[in-house]
Amino acid sequence: MPELPEVETTRRGLYPHLVGRRVTDVVVRRAKLRWPVAEELQTVLPGQVVNAIERRAKYLLVHTAAGSPLLHLGMSGSLRVLPAAVKPELHDHVDWCLDNGHVLRFNDPRRFGCQLWQAPGTLHPLLQDLGPEPLGDDFSGRYLWNLSRARKAAVKLFLMDQRVVVGVGNIYAAEALYAAGIHPARAAGKVSAERYDRLAAEVRRILAYAIERGGTTLRDFISPDGQPGYFEQELFVYGRAGEPCRLCGGAVRSVTLGQRSTFYCARCQR
């Protein structure tokens, strides 16, 4: 599933192509995605000018005066800006027709993505109860330490809880814990304030660097310009079970936490 860096890469890639453009029509070829495509995309969005594109967690909000489409890429979705003459392919489910002869095309083979609607002055239910942004001012080691006291859940699951902090998915949680030297299965309440300071710093560093590198392409993610993300080439533990640790040479191990595979080095992470 695309994580925060992939979604932020998508937002930045779309920005110059959408902001200031008028949506002239919306073509829905398949309305049944994870949730049905919101009716407002066809009844309200046409005629509106895109004022801004915002990312909240792993969602994109495309702001217009009449409201904001709320987009999620799901597990396999992608958004591309293409000439309108390019014929749609099998999994091209939604087109936003733009006033310059291009379309914003949503492709989603697994149909776990969404195109919903947030009315002006409201907050969509999917955005309620979310934690702070990991690259924002409200996120810090002290914040994590305060929230983790007495928690018995594994620190990796704690870090991936969207109510704690948004957008830190499986890949980047594993990489940040490795960089901070923290074993992913350690109880969140047993991690010291000092180590949480380091973990928060590594989360920030790794996410920022992954955004610079265009995200991580493992299966389906491509940016709006069609280019893959390159951070995959620099992963230290994720997906490397049985391979040597890049720091100590010991074997990278894998364990299942919360029904997700996680990867770690038993020598480097305590």
State the Cα–Cα distance between residues 116 and 106, nearest whole angstrom.
13
Q: Strands, DSSP E only, in 142-251?
A: none
**192 vs 231: which has the higher pLDDT:** 192
Average pLDDT, the chain: 92
- pLDDT tens profile 235-249: 899 999 999 999 999
Among 106, 99, 87, residue whose Cα is nearest residue 28: 106
Domains in the chain: ranges and CATH: 4-127 (3.20.190.10), 141-234 (1.10.8.50)
**231 vs 212: which has the higher pLDDT:** 212
- Rounded to 5 degrees, what are φ and ψ at 128? -80, 150
Tell me: pLDDT of 112 over 50.
yes
Distances (CA, A) of 242 to 34, 105, 182, 250: 36, 40, 19, 9
Tell me: pLDDT of 95 over 80.
yes
Q: Which residues are known catalytic residues?
A: 2-3, 58, 260
State the Cα–Cα distance between residues 153 and 163, nearest whole angstrom.
14
Distances (CA, A) of 150 to 139, 143, 153, 158: 20, 14, 9, 12
What tokens were used for 219?
């299966």
| pTM > 0.85: yes or no | yes
Which residues sit in the known binding site for DNA? 91, 110, 151
Average pLDDT over residues 188-205: 98
Question: Which amino acid belongs to residue 156?
Answer: K
Among 157, 162, 158, residue whose Cα is nearest residue 133: 162
